[in-house]
Amino acid sequence: MTFAYHAPAAFRVPAGTPAIATQGADLAHVRLFGLDVVSARTATVIDALLSPGRRSRVAFLNAHCVNVAARDRDYADALATADMVLPDGIGVELAARMTGARIAENLNGTDFTPALLRGAAARGMSVFLLGARPGVAEAAANRLCLEIPGLRVAGTRDGYEGMRDEAATIRAVNAARPDIVLVAAGVPMQDLWLARNAHRIDARITLGVGALFDFLAGRVRRAPVAVRKLRAEWAWRLAMEPRRMARRYLVGNATFLARAARHALRRTDRGTMAARVIDIALTGAALLFLAPLALLVAAAIKLDSPGPVFFRQMRVGRDGEQFPMLKFRSMHVDAEARRAALLATSDRDGVCFKSRSDPRVTRVGRLLRRFSIDEMPQIWNVLRGEMSVVGPRPALPSEVAEYPARALERLSVKPGLTGVWQVSGRAEIGFDKMIDMDVAYVRSRSMLLDLVIMAMTFRAILGGRGAY
């Protein structure tokens, strides 16, 4: 699938362009869809924006933005000429990973902008809110003042009649003398407006913020903190507004992934790219269809025992790189502290601990483990590029530290949701035999072998052999 327009030179991807470069002398960026997308932590970006003497027109980039830019040449040009493009959402992260690069942090606008304003308040700077329906900007300003002590709001103006006369709007903004101007008019309108007028506005920072005012004013309900931490707010909004959001999130994301895959194919090995595309397609579909089950599981975990729904544990991935692996919590919250005392009760030979009668497992946890439902959140690890659908299971750092030399070969590929070990008996298989299986897989892996293992996985889950 190709873009439906002839993009300006700044939005094209020149052949051989490196995926990662530097932006000026201060911020790193990743080259995506012909744009220099910032790859830096929130605090670093805020310090750069608020540095004395700097003027910046800032835009956010998400999957929807890429789709709009593909059919709107003026909007594509507005993005290409922005002083800073910030990554907003998992879609941009996935596109970067498909090229072999990584975005340092997802700078979601609804979280990043308040953080920017906190930094501005600490420096005595002011903000002007421009856009949204009548009354919404004022309500959002009131909310910001309550949440950010010391923030100075220079003024507000709605985005309907208030923005109709551009000259009058710019006079009103400049009369307020703000340091920062937030424009909430939606994509692409807000960025087109800023591309035309930012140079006429006497402010250090101009920023298109989409639906932020609606969120702050309470007109759009935000996802719970746990959902936002998983960066799955899109799933929450889809559930809350199914009719309005279905086309954008289902059809729109599928279209974006097709574009991202084509973009990545120009940069990466085709075999590696094909495996990654399959990973994203399968886990992306699973994330959509399994969302109702995930909500039920989360409720059952909370009702069964105190503690968080998710369990995060550092595991070792490809080439020894560690990452936080996600699971539904199937044990009591003190499980890690009790592990050492239970090592002698392991039912499995070798360095990997497994106990059929592990007292740390909760009642709901036993059911989750029986059908491998506790592993479902690792879909997120696959989407992030830390795991693959098929591969050796990720090991604990303490286990890897005790590996014999031959076992290290299993770390030469990404760990997987499923693999030869999982479809052959899981915990009933000893450590040495597991290593033999994983090394054999690494040496003979192919697309056909992966498809066979995926097919066998369903039988293994239903049979439950070795699952405890």
More confident residue, 268 or 145: 145
pLDDT at 299: 92
pLDDT tens digit sequence for 337-350: 766 666 555 555 55
Give the separation between CA 328 and CA 431, rounded to whole angstroms.
Answer: 24
Residue 270, C-beta contacts closer than 8 angstroms, at least 6 positions apart: none
pLDDT grade for 241, boundaries at 50, 70 and 90: low
Q: With 80 as the cut, is the pLDDT of residue 354 above it?
A: no
**pLDDT bucket at 11, cuts 50 / 70 / 90:** very low
Is the pLDDT assigned to residue 77 strictly greater than 80?
yes
**C-alpha–C-alpha distance, residues 164 and 172, integer Å:** 13
Contact 7, 81 (CB under 8 A): no
Average pLDDT over residues 309-325: 91
Please indicate whether residue 410 or residue 425 has the higher confidence score (pLDDT). Answer: 410
> What's the confidence (pLDDT) of residue 21?
38
Interatomic CA distance for residues 366 and 356, integer angstroms: 10
- Asked whether 38 and 87 are in contact (CB, 8 A), the reply is yes
247-278 tens-digit pLDDT: 555 566 667 767 776 666 565 555 566 777 78
User: What integer is the mean pLDDT of 101-112?
Assistant: 90
Q: Among 77-81, 177-181, 291-295, where is mean pLDDT lowest?
A: 291-295
Is the pLDDT reported for residue 22 higher than 50?
no
| pLDDT at 14 exceeding the cut of 50 | no
Q: List phi, psi (to 5°) of 261.
A: -65, -45
Are the C-beta atoms of 104 and 40 separated by less than 8 Å?
A: yes
How many C-beta atoms surround the C-beta of residue 52 within 10 A?
Answer: 6
List of E strands, 14-64: 20-23, 27-32, 35-38, 56-61
Which residues in 160-285 belong to E strands, given as ranges? 180-184, 205-208
Is residue 19 predicted with pLDDT exceeding 90?
no
- Amino acid at site 64: H
pLDDT above 50 (res 9) = no
How far, in Å, CA of 140 to CA of 145, rounded?
A: 9
Cis peptide preceding 188, ω within 30 of 0: yes
User: How far apart are alpha carbons 271 and 159 in whole angstroms?
Assistant: 48
> Among 412, 408, 420, 414, which residue's Cα sits nearest to residue 385?
414
d(CA 342, CA 358): 8
Mean pLDDT, range 218-239, rounded to an integer: 60
Its pTM stands at: 0.60
State mean pLDDT over 170-190.
96
Helix H or strand E segment including 178: none
> Does 23 have pLDDT greater than 50?
no
Give the sign of the dihedral formed by CA 115, CA 119, CA 121, CA 122. positive
> Amino acid letter at 50?
L
CA dihedral 216, 222, 224, 225 (to 10 degrees): -50
pLDDT given at position 188? 96
Q: Which residues contact 85 (CB under 8 A, 6 or more apart)?
A: 29, 35, 36, 37, 38, 58, 59, 60, 61, 79
Q: Write the single-letter amino acid at 432.
A: D
| Of 32, 377, 67, the residue nearest 235 (C-alpha) | 377
